[in-house]
Structure 1
Amino acid sequence: MKTRRNLFLCLFCALICLSDATSTHPPPAFAIPPSPGLDLVNLLIGNGGDTPNGSGGNIPSTAPPFGMTRWVAQTQTHYVSATPYNWTLDKVMGVVGTRQPAIWMGESAPISVSAGVGRNVVVDFDQRGLEVLRGTDGQKKEVVSSGYYNVELDDGHGGSIIIEQTATSRVAHLRFTFKSTLSPYILFEVARPSVITSTASNITFPSGSVSILDDLEHFKGYFCARFNEGSPKPTYGVIQNGTKSSLSPQDKAVQGSLLSAYARFPTSASATEPTVITLRVGTSFISEEQARKNIDVEIPDSPPSPSAFLTESSPTADGHLVPGTFENTAYRVRKSWADILNRIDLKLYLNDSAATASPRDFVDQQTFWTAIVHTLQFPTEQHERNRYYSGYDNQVHELEEGGESYTGYSIWDTFRAEWAWQILFVPERIPGLVQSMLADYKEGGWLPIWKNVVETNIMVGKHADSLIAEAVLKNVTGFDRELAWEAVWKDATVPPKDDLTGFDLHTVIMLNDVGLDEYITYSLKYPRAKYTTRSVSSSPHSHLYSVPLCSLDDGITITLLGGE
């Protein structure tokens, strides 16, 4: 029995570690600084599955903690019920900057970047997919980690393309290495077909725009792609609805649906010398100008000659110390994770009869450290240099120095445990998170339920009340407590739209639990079925997490009723 158990554990461990032979350990140059916990993170846990409910909904993205835009290789179309990456698939369509906060939520202005070679620029999503190469041992030539991603693809013409990726909160740093005798290109999908619901056939075609500027050699829209100095000089073009558009020197701007822009590069002068193209992609909710500023701030241009011994295609051991280089970006992103994970000292205690750790112990450690990373991905930053865009009033708001704004609040899922964990583990984030919820209240009229840039009005209960109450009771400061009281009191006493009239599940606007006035008037411990079809679900949420009593003293004391 013991032998069978150990065999099972070894097989289980192998599945988690390899996941069809994709490596979860970055090469030494991208494993700096050292972090034992980060080395055990396996971002393939919670990915995979052939149905939405068969997947954990997680993706192996590169971004710092709470990053605004997460970058990940794209293996499938993503929409409500599907994420961009699934490790069980063997083709990569490029990389995508995603703001999809959960598998059951939609996107917010993603930007896809793909690569290819040859005369024809391939725009179609499925057709531009390239096979992931495997080594002689059968393992995928792919590496996933929190700060660095690498994959080698068959370019379909006898050569290969290596994609390397890292990213700060608002800027991706990408490096493409083309091993081919054909002309390489980089494609930017500016306006893609959009799937609005979880039904793949429900497609709309939003409009986008692209401008090409020779002086700065980048595209701009809600993103800015800037090629590094030292990359070959490209020529540019636009493809709209599958047709190439000719651009005159006087007019290099195109607008419309199904829109892509590309940069084509000259063929390598030597068949043995690969073409290396490095670029940074700044993203913004605010403007094209802000996207450029985000690049300048987060990944500034590297010095003209950072070192006599350093080039982008031939880094040295000190490359991670040179600002603006790909290695430096990957180093800073990994460090942002290591600095937090190194706050934990995890000790493994073995049984007296055990000489070494078992495979189960290894799996448990992987699960633990990976779970820590997952708790630090959401909510995501929405602020950009002391400003943020609000979808509630369609305005750009100014923040005080150091102010923060967030989106991706899945509060119904996180209020029980993750919030308490974040207060304990990253207390420096909590004031900004509460400030952001209060800004949502001022701009949208209510505290958030499930905010995805704007309120999505899904799930039940108003658990932001619980979050704020817990922050107050744990002496978190740095936000307006009087405003917090006002927002929480409104949640508890004012019924939202259609709360007293709607009872058709398909037509009612789901906002929050029935108002406290109805709860008190009828002296019930549950909302009347007459007023809501969500009685079974709403009852415990309104009973446990409404905040009906407060007393004001020097600060605010909030008492939760009914919670156990």
Structure 2
Amino acid sequence: MLKKLFFTIAILSCLNTFAQTTDYTQFVNPFIGTDKMGHTFPGATAPFGMVQLSPQTNVQTMYKADGSYNPKTYEYCAGYQYADSTIIGFSHTNFSGTGHSDLGDFLVMPTVGKLILDPLKTESGAKGFISTFSHKNEMASPGYYKVKLDDYNITAELTASERVGFHQYTFPKSDEAHIILDMVYNVYGYDDKNVWTFVRVENDSTVTGYRQTHGWARTRTVYFAMEFSKPFKSYGHKKYDKAKYNGFYRKFNEAENFPEMAGKEIRAYFNFDTEENEKIAIKFALSSVSTEGAMKNLKAEIPHWDFEKTKAETQQKWNKELSKIEVKSITPEDKISFYTALYHTMLSPIIYEDVDGKYRGLDQNTHTSDGFTNYTIFSLWDTYRALHPLFNIIHPKRNNDMIKSMLAHHDQSVHNMLPIWSHYANENWCMIGYHATSVIADAVAKNVGDFDKNHALEAAVNTSNVDYFDGVGDYKKMGFVPEDKSSSSVSKTLEYAYDDWCIAQIAKSVGNTEVEKEYLSRSENFKNLYDPKIGYMRPKLSDGKFRKEFDPLDTHGQGFIEGNAWNYGLYVPQNLDEMVQMMGGKERFSKHLDSLFTMELDDKYIEKN
């Protein structure tokens, strides 16, 4: 039976009675997408929050002992797998929905009993600090997560503000209660991913530090400030890296109660005595700039120890954001699917600045945002088509700030480029196209934002003329990207052509007819790869001839990325009428579209994926 889903996008104010009385968070299930390859996390975060405080259910490094790639690591892009029955701790940074990963910073794990500092198993083969759990004792909603750690009889509760994670652990009676701070653990970890870690015990309830990693982001530094609601009775750490300084250095017993801990791989611990059902809370703030910045964030956002207050405030923020779209659905299931998807749209990009506006820029210097909130995590190949156009409707101010963040990225870039796929003051160069231009053009078309359009045009033109970037030089010279010089050449050509059309629209909006004309011409480059003899887009080589070996159904090595000529070859959104005529007219084109929904791929193609 066909289910009809009706939704209305409305501009809802605080006077809207329906929005005031409806709790939209009840329609969100954060566990959707956490199984298999969904790559979402169930933990606590505020809308677009810098902190994503979430359970990590296993350790899967990127490489096996023999140095080969470990495919299991792909399942843990968000650190959590619903099929697992174990938890190794709760980290403060996590991607949602990505096809590659990083992050997993500052894993915290409460335990009781003998102190164990290895997550899975010790050097002797004994069980590590990992704990089993059951989904029947687990719950999640926007801004809140709760689970019982069965091995320790500890109940963990998590909530968060934008920049601060708030933990609350309910302990059994014990004179051996511990809270472990694991600075070794990484999502997509590998040997030497940690460049350096540092922990400083400021007093008996305050800890600061930082970690620098070399992963998908090549130089990523995150600072933290950590406050306990109860003073710890003792503390210490274990250093796992073998690098040693052999010059002069005064020797101390640094393993226990020494207030500075430094090394590439460190796990620190803090010891307590606890009564039955005693609660110990932790406030854990992040900063890209300094431990001082992290402490400012902590004191500004959560200056108290009222866990329920922060939880309620964050859930109220979520309700406000979710209420921007009202859905009338035949089934409750439809409503849960819709609002969970809407919730997931607000997990990134994330706020990337301290409460005073300071942030680490792409040049690794400290900058201060001027008239905007700085954001990071721009997975633009994934988000330019639908997410940012949605933001222009329901989050126009945020999207305006995101565009200003992209322009700041351009100004700090040694390449003079807008972001391609950027996170945490790094460009990771993932995927194709220069789709920040599309985000800007969509805002221009909708008349959203007060960003400088001339500055945006300059940044877009600069980005589209970096010859060493992904075949752009050949694209400009030849009118297409040659497959023998750059793989996925058809996809790149088609997407560059669309992005060039977007640049033409930005130029048109500021009256720059010269640039508009140039980029409208470039936007016609899609025609250069259409082969009328076979009726498909097809890769060409440097000699200008179509490549002979070609299978339009194959998704590998045929000039396309994550697609094939059958579907990706239709990507000409800037000139649909001409594409339809080029492919034989409306009747033939309609049959081609129908075939996308009716044909079945041979198993040999499926197996390659």
TM range (shorter): 0.7 to 0.9
Deviation, structure 1 residue 478: 2.1
* 1:347 to 2:322 alignment: no
Deviation, structure 1 residue 414: 1.0
Does structure 2 conserve the Cα–Cα contact (< 8 Å) formed by 1:71 and 1:96? yes
* 1:148 to 2:144 alignment: yes
CA 553–62 in structure 1, closer or farther in 2 if over 3 Å, else same? closer
CA 99–255 in structure 1, closer or farther in 2 if over 3 Å, else same? same
- Partners of 1:495 and 1:398 lie apart in 2 by 27
Does structure 2 conserve the Cα–Cα contact (< 8 Å) formed by 1:193 and 1:258? no
Please, what TM-score do these two structures have when normalized by structure 2?
0.70
* 1:404 to 2:373 alignment: yes
CA 194–39 in structure 1, closer or farther in 2 if over 3 Å, else same? closer
In structure 1, list runs of 5 or more residues that go unmatched: 7-31, 50-54, 134-138, 303-323, 350-360, 498-510
Deviation, structure 1 residue 553: 6.7
- Partners of 2:500 and 2:508 lie apart in 1 by 18
- What SS class does the counterpart of residue 58 from structure 2 fall into? coil
CA 38–177 in structure 1, closer or farther in 2 if over 3 Å, else same? same
* 1:377 to 2:347 alignment: yes
Aligned pair partner of 2:27 in 40, 44, 48: 40
In structure 2, list runs of 5 or more residues that go unmatched: 4-18, 63-72, 122-127, 211-222, 243-251, 525-573, 577-609
Does structure 2 conserve the Cα–Cα contact (< 8 Å) formed by 1:182 and 1:267? yes
Q: Structure 2 matches for 1:504-519, cutoff 5 A?
A: 511-512=469-470, 514-515=472-473, 518-519=474-475
CA-atom RMSD in angstroms: 3.0
* 1:277 to 2:280 alignment: yes
Q: Structure 2 matches for 1:195-210, cutoff 5 A?
A: 195=188, 204-210=193-199
- Partners of 2:115 and 2:47 lie apart in 1 by 39
Q: Hey, what does 2:235 align to over in structure 1?
A: 236
Q: Which amino acid aligns with 2:310?
A: T
- Partners of 1:287 and 1:74 lie apart in 2 by 26
Q: Hey, what does 1:175 align to over in structure 2?
A: 168
After superposition, what is the alpha-carbon deviation per residue over 1:219-263, rounded to whole angstroms, capped at 9, x for unaligned? 4332111012xx3543222222399x9459995212112212111
Does structure 2 conserve the Cα–Cα contact (< 8 Å) formed by 1:211 and 1:220? yes
CA 246–219 in structure 1, closer or farther in 2 if over 3 Å, else same? farther
Q: Hey, what does 2:316 align to over in structure 1?
A: 335
- Partners of 1:459 and 1:347 lie apart in 2 by 37
Aligned pair partner of 2:38 in 45, 56, 79: 56
After superposition, what is the alpha-carbon deviation per residue over 1:520-541, rounded to whole angstroms, capped at 9, x for unaligned? 644x4x3333542331211211
Q: Which amino acid aligns with 1:145?
A: S
After superposition, what is the alpha-carbon deviation per residue over 1:442-499, rounded to whole angstroms, capped at 9, x for unaligned? 101200111122111121111111111111121122212111010111233x1332xx
Deviation, structure 1 residue 61: 2.4
Q: Hey, what does 1:464 align to over in structure 2?
A: 436
- Partners of 1:331 and 1:33 lie apart in 2 by 15
Q: Which amino acid aligns with 1:263?
A: F
Aligned pair partner of 2:389 in 416, 420, 430: 420
- Partners of 1:121 and 1:519 lie apart in 2 by 57
Q: Structure 2 matches for 1:115-134, cutoff 5 A?
A: 115-125=110-120, 127-133=128-134
Deviation, structure 1 residue 182: 4.4
- Partners of 1:443 and 1:398 lie apart in 2 by 13
Q: Hey, what does 1:538 align to over in structure 2?
A: 492
Q: Which amino acid aligns with 1:399?
A: S
Please, what TM-score do these two structures have when normalized by structure 1?
0.75
Q: Which amino acid aligns with 2:444?
A: V
Does structure 1 conserve the Cα–Cα contact (< 8 Å) formed by 2:113 and 2:176? yes
- What SS class does the counterpart of residue 412 from structure 1 fall into? helix
Give the number of aligned pairs: 460
Q: Which amino acid aligns with 1:65?
A: P
* 1:326 to 2:310 alignment: no
- Partners of 1:495 and 1:262 lie apart in 2 by 49
- Partners of 1:195 and 1:529 lie apart in 2 by 31
CA 226–458 in structure 1, closer or farther in 2 if over 3 Å, else same? same
CA 370–556 in structure 1, closer or farther in 2 if over 3 Å, else same? farther
Q: Which amino acid aligns with 2:43?
A: S
- Partners of 1:478 and 1:448 lie apart in 2 by 20
Does structure 1 conserve the Cα–Cα contact (< 8 Å) formed by 2:57 and 2:85? yes
Deviation, structure 1 residue 218: 2.9
- Partners of 1:374 and 1:194 lie apart in 2 by 20
Q: Structure 2 matches for 1:249-328, cutoff 5 A?
A: 252-268=259-275, 273-300=276-303, 302=304, 324-328=305-309
- What SS class does the counterpart of residue 226 from structure 1 fall into? strand
Does structure 1 conserve the Cα–Cα contact (< 8 Å) formed by 2:107 and 2:185? no
Q: Which amino acid aligns with 1:413?
A: D
After superposition, what is the alpha-carbon deviation per residue over 1:319-360, rounded to whole angstroms, capped at 9, x for unaligned? xxxxx41001101111111001112222235xxxxxxxxxxx
> Identity over aligned residues, as a percent?
27
